[in-house]
Structure 1
Amino acid sequence: MRYFPIDKILFIENRRRLTELLQPKSLVILNSNDTMPTNADGTMGFKQSSDLFYLTGVDQEETVLLISPDHPDPKFREVLFVRETNELIAVWEGEKLTKEQAREVSGIQSIYWTHQYETVLQAIVFEAEKVYLNTNEHTRSDSQVQTREARFIADFKERYPLHTLSRLAPLMHQLRAIKQPLEIELLQKACDITKLGFERLLKFVKPGVHEFEIEAELLHEFVRNRSKGFAYQPIIASGANACVLHYIQNNQICKDGDVLLLDVAAEYANYGADLTRSVPVNGRFTKRQRDVYDAVLRVFKAAKGMLVTGNIWDEYHQEIGKIMESELIGLGLITKQDIENQDPDLPAYKKYFPHGTSHFLGLDIHDVGNKYRRFEPGMVFTCEPGIYIREEGLGIRLENDILITENGNVDLMAHIPLEAEEIEEWMNG
């Protein structure tokens, strides 16, 4: 891996906290993600299962984790299976983890090769009364591809039809929503790398530059700082492209007088930052652009102030909606009459601010968590209001990553230029 070794105490503690949530005589089984095919003999880059990484730190395909805290034999209470390497694999793909390396990464002492899985499982499964299996229960998940976990669940039900099955996902959502100190350090590192990329592009952006050239500048800076690259598909949207929320073509020329919306950030050790900035292509905002920018910035600051212990998702977003209404009236985009006559299920402000202000952040960019759970110390949220005026070809969004603490919050991106004057100074300095 490119990133520096992570202290295995993180994964040891994550497993310990999970076992505290399990029913007596339980077994947890977790599989790594598939390596997805492309065409011919090609494959996509491997992305580890976030839950498996969270519990083991192993970033390798064909990995399986078993946790059975009440098993009579201590060596079967935590078992990790990793792919056995050989000379052919070493030549073509590079060496895989040895058993000693897997122990060092994960803190798990019982390491087996993946091909030994069935034999070892037989020694464990019949001592369990309840088996926790994993599924993707993210509310925004819409996968049309059958995952390795889905195949495994179907196979397990056929082989062991009398076992009681339980959902692991709710427990993982509960745990992963609260970031541990080592996780916060990794998120901060991803934010720090993102800062380097953003400051680099501020010196690069000018009229006539292609959006994909900016993407290349960012990728260079991210990778040279031990990141795999972008934490998500980068959005580099100039002019009217900024009004397309998931614009990813990144193939247009940045024109004089346009504003460039950049939703771009680095990952580090599988933890992703999430940044959005809007910058003037020629280095100076027009009065109208500045008015809209400052309106978004005021909403950002108000929203950031509400990301505190005890608040709750729906109430938080309702309050932000009211603030946005005021700003849009001030910009002449909606009227008080529009608000009075609005459909409560589709507020007037949604025409210019159609998305949410925050989401959980962590091992996944839209990380797992429960919107009905009140905000607690250790949660990390994005804060990303925006105003998109299609008729003017102008879209502005600002986004930082916010850690909730017992005493307010901490902006993990406070060191990245945000104020309009800062942006202009960097671009013209």
Structure 2
Amino acid sequence: MKYLPIGQDLFITNRKKLSARLQASSVAVFNSSDLMPTSADGTMPFKQDANIFYLSGIDQEESILLLAPDFPDERFREVLFLRETNEEIAVWEGHKYTIEEAANTSGIKTVKWLNEFESVFNTILAETEHIYLDSNEHIRNGSQVETRTDRFTNWCQKNYPLHEYQRIAPIIYDLRCVKEQREIEMIQHACDITEIGFRRILEFTKPGVWEYELEAELSYEFLRNRASRFAYDPIIASGGNSCVLHYIENNQQCKDGDIILFDVGAEYANYNADMTRVIPVNGKFSKRQRQVYDAVLRVKNEATELLTPGSTIPDYHKAVGEIMERELLALGLISKSDIEKQDPDWPAYKKYFMHGTSHHLGLNVHDVASIYKKFEPGMVFTVEPGIYIPEENIGIRLEDNIVITKQGHDNLMKNIPIHAEEIESLMNA
């Protein structure tokens, strides 16, 4: 791993919180992600499953975590299983966790090789009534790929059909959406790396540069500052591409007079940043670009003030929509007549602002949580309103990462330039 050690205290705390939510006489099982194939003998870069990382800090394939909080033998209340390494693996794949390293990383005292899993699991189940199994229950999940977790679920239910099965996702999702201070520090670090990359972009950008060159500049700064990777496929969208919400081709030349929308973030220690900024290719916004830019910035600032304990995502999005409606009226993009005739399920403002304003952020970029869970201190959200005008080749989205606190909120991207004057000044320095 490129990142520095996080410390086992976070993972010990997370396991305690989860264990306190389990029924008596239970075991919970978490599997690592698969190494995903490409073609021939190729594989994608490994990306650890967020749940097992949240509970153990183990960032390696073929790992299993068992939690049985009230098992009679204390040695088996927390058990971590790892792929056993050897000299051949070390030569071809490099270093893997030793028993001692895994124990030090996770704070788990009982660490065994994977070939002992079935024996230990059988021992635990002899004294257990409930089995909590993991699954991807993210509201946006549409994957058809069978995962290591899916295969384990099938195996477990086939071999132990008479136990009571429970879903762990609602419990761990509820825990993960409220961050510990150490987690917020990791997200802040990812934001800080993202800032370094963006400031490099402000110096590098000029008419004629290609979108992929800007991607390369970001990648350079991210990697040299210990980011594992981009948090998601970077969006570097110039001109009319800025109106395409998930534009990732990044293969066009940036022209004088156009804007560039950057939706990028660094991943550090599996925690993610998610930033959007818009800059003028030539270092100076046109009058119309500036009008739209300032309107979006006003919406973002007001939306940030609405991130307070007690609200929910649906209520919050409705309130932000009313703010956006006001700005679109002022820009002449919608009329009072449009509002009077609008479909309540698809308000008039949706023509120019068709996505949500905020989502949870953490180990997943679109982090897990019920959209109906009330906001509370420790939650981390994006705030990312946008206005998209394809007929004018103007797409403006501005996004910061916000922690809700007891006192209000903290902007983890407060040091990343966002005001138009500052961006123009830095580009022309």
TM-score range, shorter chain: over 0.9
Residue 265 of structure 2 corresponds to 265
> Which amino acid is the alignment partner of residue 227 of structure 2?
S
State the shift of 1:314 in Å: 1.4
Q: For the residues of structure 2 that align with 1:108 and 1:67, how far apart are their CA atoms?
A: 10
RMSD: 0.6
Residue 88 of structure 1 corresponds to 88
Matches within 5 A, 1:162-177: 162-177=162-177
Q: For the residues of structure 2 that align with 1:279 and 1:20, how far apart are their CA atoms?
A: 48
Residue 37 of structure 1 corresponds to 37
State the shift of 1:49 in Å: 0.5
Residue 204 of structure 1 corresponds to 204
Residue 353 of structure 2 corresponds to 353
Residue 327 of structure 1 corresponds to 327
State the shift of 1:376 in Å: 0.2
Residue 5 of structure 1 corresponds to 5
> Which sections of structure 1, spanning at least 5 residues, go unmatched?
none
State the shift of 1:281 in Å: 0.4
Q: Which one is further off, 349-358 or 143-152?
A: 143-152
Percent pairwise identity: 59
Q: For the residues of structure 1 that align with 2:164 and 2:205, how far apart are their CA atoms?
A: 58
Matches within 5 A, 1:359-370: 359-370=359-370
Matches within 5 A, 1:134-145: 134-145=134-145
State the shift of 1:229 in Å: 2.0
Matches within 5 A, 1:16-415: 16-415=16-415
State the shift of 1:309 in Å: 1.2
Q: For the residues of structure 2 that align with 1:400 and 1:86, how far apart are their CA atoms?
A: 45
State the shift of 1:373 in Å: 1.2
State the shift of 1:122 in Å: 1.2
Indicate the SS of the match to 2:229.
Answer: coil
> Which amino acid is the alignment partner of residue 44 of structure 1?
M
Q: For the residues of structure 1 that align with 2:207 and 2:343, how far apart are their CA atoms?
A: 41
State the shift of 1:312 in Å: 1.7
After the TM superposition, which segments of 4 or more aligned residues of structure 1 sit over 4 Å from their partners?
none
Q: For the residues of structure 1 that align with 2:63 and 2:409, how far apart are their CA atoms?
A: 37
> Which amino acid is the alignment partner of residue 44 of structure 2?
M
State the shift of 1:145 in Å: 0.5
> Which amino acid is the alignment partner of residue 348 of structure 1?
A
> Which amino acid is the alignment partner of residue 296 of structure 1?
V
> Which amino acid is the alignment partner of residue 13 of structure 2?
E
Q: Which one is further off, 123-132 or 210-219?
A: 123-132
Q: TM-score, normalised by structure 1?
A: 0.99
Q: For the residues of structure 2 that align with 1:41 and 1:315, how far apart are their CA atoms?
A: 49
Q: For the residues of structure 2 that align with 1:13 and 1:361, how far apart are their CA atoms?
A: 20
Could you list the per-position Cα deviations for residues 18-58 of structure 1 after superposition, in whole angstroms to 9, with x for gaps in the alignment? 01100000100110011001111110111100000000000
Q: For the residues of structure 2 that align with 1:39 and 1:28, how far apart are their CA atoms?
A: 34
Could you list the per-position Cα deviations for residues 329-386 of structure 1 after superposition, in whole angstroms to 9, with x for gaps in the alignment? 1111000100000011111100100000000000000000111111000000000000
Indicate the SS of the match to 1:413.
Answer: coil
> Which amino acid is the alignment partner of residue 104 of structure 1?
N
Q: TM-score, normalised by structure 2?
A: 0.99
> Which amino acid is the alignment partner of residue 341 of structure 2?
N
Q: For the residues of structure 1 that align with 2:269 and 2:375, how far apart are their CA atoms?
A: 25
Q: For the residues of structure 2 that align with 1:131 and 1:122, how far apart are their CA atoms?
A: 12
Q: For the residues of structure 1 that align with 2:111 and 2:245, how far apart are their CA atoms?
A: 45
Q: For the residues of structure 2 that align with 1:144 and 1:236, how far apart are their CA atoms?
A: 28
